[in-house]
Structure 1
Amino acid sequence: MPALDVVRLWRVVPVLALLLLGGCSSLSYYSQLASGQWQLLQARTPVAEVLADPGRDPRLRQHLALAQQARRFASEQLHLPDNQSYRLYADIGRPYVVWNVFATEEFSLTPVTHCFPIAGCVAYRGYYSQGRARGAAALQKQAGQDVYVAGIEAYSTLGWFSDPILNTMLGWGDERLAALIFHELAHQRFYVQDDTAFNESYASFVEQQGARQWRAARGLPAQDDIRSAQRDALTALVLEARQRLQALYAQPLPASVMRERKAAQFERLRHEYRTLRDRRWPGDTRFDAWINAPLNNARLLPFGLYEHWVPAFAALFAQVGGDWPRFYARVEHLGKLTPAERTAALQALMPAVQHP
C-alpha cells in the first residue's frame, strides 16, 4: 500500500473512533466502513503489473490498457487530477463496491441525509455488504419512510486515498469505464460539502462531456444517439414526475388522499414511459425493469441528484467556450456561494423548457 495512503488511513481512524462513541448503531456502521475501505486498499495492484503479467486474463489486460489511455486523457485534456488514482486495480469479488440506501419521508422528495467526517452530509448511506444495506433499508421502511437500495460500481474518496479501478467498473465496457474514471476524478477535482445534487450533477456533466471528447480524440463517431436520447427522455419524464409530486406534497391533504394521489402519479409516470417507448423506440425494453419495479420517492432520488443540474453545467461549459480550466474556476465560484445563492445561479443557467 502506498505510504501516503497508510498515513491518511491512520488520520481518519481517530475521527471514526470519536464517531463510534455515539452508540452501538454507530459502532456497527462505522466499523463496516473502516473494514470495507481497508479491504479495498489491501486488494490494490498497480495496473502496470497486471499489464506486464502474461498469466492474467487477456481481456482484463485489454480493458486496463485502454483505461490507462483514458486516465492519461483525463489529466492531459480534461485537466483532472494527475495522481495514482485509477492507475491501480482491485478485484473485490462482488458486482458492486457498495450499496447505497436512499430514503425520504412518505410525502417528501427531500432525501434523509447522513453526515460524515470527510464527505460532509450526503443523501444516502453506503454499505459494503448488500445484506447490511437491505437490513438498514427494512428498518427505515418499517419507520414509514420510502427506501431504495442501489448497487454502486465506484466511488471517490475525494483524494484521500489512491482510488483503484475496480472489477465492478468493468461490466459495461470500455466506454463506461472511461466515463466512470472521469466522473470520480471530477469529485477529486472539486467537491462541495453538504450538496449532493451539485456534486453529482457536476461530475455527471464532466463524465458525459469527457466521454464525448474521449471518443472524438480517438477518431470515433459520437456514441449511439438513440441510446443517449432514450436515457435523456426517461430522465426528463422522471424529473417532470418529481415536479408534480413536489406540488402534490405541498398541499394540505389528509394522508389517505395524499397516498392515493401519490400512487396515481407513479402510474402516470409508467403510462407516459410506455407511450414514449412504443412511439419512439418500439420493441426496446431497456428501461422496462426499472419502470415496472415498485416506485417510490426514494427511487426517484438518483435522478434528482445525478441529473438535475447537468443542463446548467452544460450551459456553463458553453459560456466559457469549452475551456476546462475556466469551467472549473466557474464551478469553484458556484461552490463558494451560499446554498440559496448557488441554487439560484444554477437555476438561471437551466434551459427554459426541458421535454423528452
Structure 2
Amino acid sequence: MLLARCRILAQTLLLAGACTLLAGCAHGGGTLGYYWQSLRGHLALLHAARPVPEWLAEPDTPAPLRQRLELALQAREFASRVLALPDNASYRRYARLDRSAAVWNVVAAPPWSLTLHTWCFPVTGCIGYRGYFAQEDADAEGRRLAQQGLEVSVYPVPAYSTLGYSNWLGGDPLLSTFIGWPEGDFVRLLFHELAHQQAYASGDTRFNESYATAVERLGVQQWLDARGDAAVRQQYERSEERRRQWRALTQQTRARLTAIYESKQALAQDWKALAAMKSEAMQTFAEDYARLRADWVERQGVAPQQLASLDRWVQGANNASFAAQGAYDDLVPAFMALFAREGRDWPRFHAAVRALAAAPQGERETKIRELNQP
C-alpha cells in the first residue's frame, strides 16, 4: 500500500504548470535531481497548506486575506455547482509561501520554429514546459538548453495543477502567489486549474491549455453576471480589453514569424536575410507594444508598475515565449464553438471535451479544425 502511494506521488505530485501542469518521470539528463526537487517542493507546499476554515477561525488572520478566502470558498462552490467542475478537495486549503511564484517554468524552441521543445512523462505524456520550485534550478535548465542552440524562456507561474491526483493528500491548495489578485483574475485562474482536473489529453499541451483557457473565460463571465457587482465587473472588463489587445498583437506576431520560418527552405542559401526578417518582426512587435502600453497608461490610467511583467515578457520575447503563449490561445475559438454546439450546457461540454481527449491525436486535431471553421 505504501509503495503504491509512493508511485502515485512520484508520477502525479510532480505535475506543475501555469495554470498549470507539469511533471512525472522525465527522460533525459538530471532526472533524479528533477524528481527530488519536484517531490520536495510539492511536499513542502502541502505541508504549508491548512484548511480554509482554520484560517478563517484564527482571530489574527488579516481582514483582506479573510475576505479573499471567503470569496475563494464561494468561487469553489460556484465552479462545481454551475460550471460542473470537479467537486473535490482541491482549492479548499490555503498555503502562504515565502516566494513570488509557485513554480518557474522553462520553455524552449528552435531558432527557426515556434514548435516547443518537449519533455516526456508517463502520466502527462510529452509536454512543452518543465517546472521547478526554485528559480535558480529553472535558470540552470534554461542555460543548459540554450547551450544546445535553443531559444529559452523562464517565467514565474502563480499556480499549478496535479490533475486531481493529489486529492487524497488534501488537493491542490490556494496560494499566496495569487490570492490577492483582482476578483475576476483570481476566479478565472481557479476555474482554469480546476478544468485541468475535468479533462486532459495526454501529450497535447495546446489542447489542454486552450480548453482550460476557454473554461476560465466562459466561467468568469457567468460568475460576474451572477455576482452583480458593477465595480468588479467594470474592473474586469477593463482588464479583459487589455488582454484582448495583447492577444491580438501577439497572434499577429506569431503569424508573421510562422510565415518567415515557413520560407526558410526557399531562403536556405541566405540565412542572413532570414535573420533580418525575424529581427524586423521582433522589432515591430516591440514598437507596437510600446504604443499599446502608452495608450493603457495615458488613456486608461494603468499604473506603469502593473505592466512590469508584460514589459519583461516583451524585453525577452523569443520563439519559446511566443510558442508557449500560443498553447493557451490557439484552440480557444474551437472550444468556444464546441460550448455553443453543446447548447452552453456545461456537463455536455465537458463530456464532449473528454471524448476529444480520448480520441487518437490525428482524429482529435481533425475535429478541432472543423470546430475552428466559420
**Structure-2 residue corresponding to 1:106:** 111
Matched residue SS, 1:169:
coil
**Structure-2 residue corresponding to 1:244:** 256
**Structure-1 residue corresponding to 2:242:** 230
- Indicate whether 1:165 and 2:162 are aligned: no
Identity %: 40
Task: Find the aligned partners of 1:152 and 1:279 in 2 and give their Cα distance.
Answer: 27
**Structure-2 residue corresponding to 1:273:** 289
Task: Find the aligned partners of 2:318 and 2:156 in 1 and give their Cα distance.
Answer: 17
Q: How far apart are residue 191 of structure 1 and its match?
A: 0.6
**Structure-1 residue corresponding to 2:327:** 305
Task: Find the aligned partners of 2:43 and 2:52 in 1 and give their Cα distance.
Answer: 19
48 and 326 in structure 1: CA distance in 2 versus 1, 3 angstrom threshold = same
Aligned counterpart for 2:120 among listed residues 115, 121, 124: 115
Task: Find the aligned partners of 1:23 and 1:107 in 2 and give their Cα distance.
Answer: 24
Question: Deviations for 1:236-280, whole angstroms, at most 9, x for unmatched residues?
Answer: 221122122122112222433322211111112223334555678
Q: How far apart are residue 7 of structure 1 and its match?
A: 6.8
147 and 229 in structure 1: CA distance in 2 versus 1, 3 angstrom threshold = same
TM-score by length of 2: 0.85
329 and 170 in structure 1: CA distance in 2 versus 1, 3 angstrom threshold = same
53 and 123 in structure 1: CA distance in 2 versus 1, 3 angstrom threshold = same
Aligned counterpart for 1:338 among listed residues 360, 364, 373: 360
Alignment check: 8 A CA contact 1:270 1:291 kept: no
Task: Find the aligned partners of 1:264 and 1:173 in 2 and give their Cα distance.
Answer: 36
Alignment check: 8 A CA contact 2:10 2:35 kept: no
Alignment check: 8 A CA contact 1:79 1:324 kept: yes
Task: Find the aligned partners of 1:131 and 1:88 in 2 and give their Cα distance.
Answer: 28
**Structure-1 residue corresponding to 2:197:** 188
Q: How far apart are residue 225 of structure 1 and its match?
A: 3.0
Task: Find the aligned partners of 2:296 and 2:193 in 1 and give their Cα distance.
Answer: 33
TM-score by length of 1: 0.89
Counting only pairs closer than 5 Å after superposition, residues 1-356 of structure 1 correspond to structure 2 as: 8-13=5-10, 25-161=30-166, 162-221=171-230, 222-223=233-234, 224-250=236-262, 251-252=264-265, 253=267, 254-275=270-291, 282-283=298-299, 289-290=311-312, 292-350=314-372, 352=374
Matched residue SS, 1:180:
helix
Greater mean alpha carbon deviation, residues 80-89 or residues 172-181 = 172-181
Amino acid aligned to 2:344: G
Matched residue SS, 1:314:
helix
Matched residue SS, 2:153:
strand
Greater mean alpha carbon deviation, residues 317-326 or residues 168-177 = 168-177
Amino acid aligned to 1:341: E
Alignment check: 8 A CA contact 2:116 2:324 kept: no
Question: Deviations for 1:33-76, whole angstroms, at most 9, x for unmatched residues?
Answer: 11111111211101111111112222211110110000000111
Task: Find the aligned partners of 2:163 and 2:31 in 1 and give their Cα distance.
Answer: 23
Instruction: Return the structure number with greater relative CO, CA threshold 8 A, min gap 6.
Output: 2
Q: How far apart are residue 114 of structure 1 and its match?
A: 0.6
Question: Deviations for 1:105-140, whole angstroms, at most 9, x for unmatched residues?
Answer: 111110000112322211111100001111111221
Q: How far apart are residue 79 of structure 1 and its match?
A: 0.5
Task: Find the aligned partners of 2:180 and 2:373 in 1 and give their Cα distance.
Answer: 34
180 and 6 in structure 1: CA distance in 2 versus 1, 3 angstrom threshold = farther
Greater mean alpha carbon deviation, residues 277-286 or residues 321-330 = 277-286
Matched residue SS, 1:243:
helix
Task: Find the aligned partners of 2:67 and 2:281 in 1 and give their Cα distance.
Answer: 46
Alignment check: 8 A CA contact 2:107 2:321 kept: yes
Task: Find the aligned partners of 2:346 and 2:289 in 1 and give their Cα distance.
Answer: 36
Amino acid aligned to 1:327: F
RMSD value over aligned CA atoms?
2.6
In structure 1, stretches of 5+ residues that fail to align are: none
